[in-house]
Amino acid sequence: MVSDVLKGERKKPQRWPWVACYVLTCVRHAATQPGQPVRDEKAVLRQWSDKWQALFGDIPPVGLDASGGKAAVELSPLWEDNVASPAELPTIEREIFDRWGQHGVALYRAATLHQDGDAAYRLGVLAYLDGRRPDANAWLTQAADEENQDAAELLDAPNPGRLAVKHATRLGSEAAGQAEMFVAWLFLKRAANFGDPEAEFQLGEICHELGHKDKARQWFRLAADHGHDLAIERLRQDAREAARNGKALPGPASPDGADRWSERLDGDHPANSVPEWPAW
């Protein structure tokens, strides 16, 4: 657990979805005990997410918000199946959990146990962006056999890697619109790794919604550097608001990005730069 890492008894923390489920389990169990106060689940998760982020510092931890609010993430199938630890999963599911978290395990179970074409398609997209082309082709073929048109499109594409990036951005954006923030981050972060401007912008929106303003600004800067108009406008608004309040904005994600952005803050942005798409 996170406390073990803070005490130096463990090298790396568990991933946030596991930690959040564990924390919620403890809070809800304590609430059933005589004499124990009922604690605010959201506040407890925020305290633990701050500790977790201080250690991991990459993906902003998303609260498992029982109220179903904007920062909500569905409790995972691991929770529903009473799996206390990923170590209790079968080997292949544990490998998928390590790669794609509880959502990956849910997709795997749906694709293998119920021949769910949509789940197989999503696994194919994730596998493509992780450079696992044989796995991707296998999942996409299964999905196409189940008449999933998106999978068939990827299989027939002359550059399926590039198209997979666009599909991941769409899947992530749809998940964000349904407040499935962990799922959204899973797809969008992979698309953003290849410089997709819409994915970068959507990650900025997620960070902004979750209160991570500095991280949001970094993603908006990256999207702006790839010519994303809404990201450029968002940064202009931030700059104008900071100027009115007499505050300096934090530094950008990268020095070269800062120079390119500052040059076009008050003018037209140049033609969109071309992201480095996967060449498979």
pLDDT (tens digit per residue) in 222-277: 999 999 999 999 999 888 887 887 766 554 444 334 333 333 333 333 333 334 44
The pLDDT value given to residue 174: 94
Q: Rounded to the nearest 5 degrees, what angle is found at the Cα of 222, between the Cα atoms of 168 and 242?
A: 130
Tens digit of each residue's pLDDT (9 = 90 or more) over 205-234 = 998 888 888 899 999 999 999 999 999 999
Of 20 and 243, the one with more pLDDT:
243
Indicate the average pLDDT of the chain. Answer: 74
Evaluate the CA torsion angle 235, 191, 159, 167 in order and state its sign. Answer: negative
Of 273 and 1, the one with more pLDDT:
1
Q: Which of 57-61, 91-95, 199-203, 229-233 has the lowest mean pLDDT?
A: 57-61
pLDDT of 148 over the 90 cut? yes
Instruction: Report the share of the chain in percent with pLDDT over 90.
Output: 36
Average pLDDT over residues 109-127: 94
Residue whose C-alpha is closest to residue 74's, from 179, 149, 1: 179
Tens digit of each residue's pLDDT (9 = 90 or more) over 31-69 = 777 777 777 777 777 777 777 666 655 554 444 443 333
Average pLDDT over residues 75-85: 38
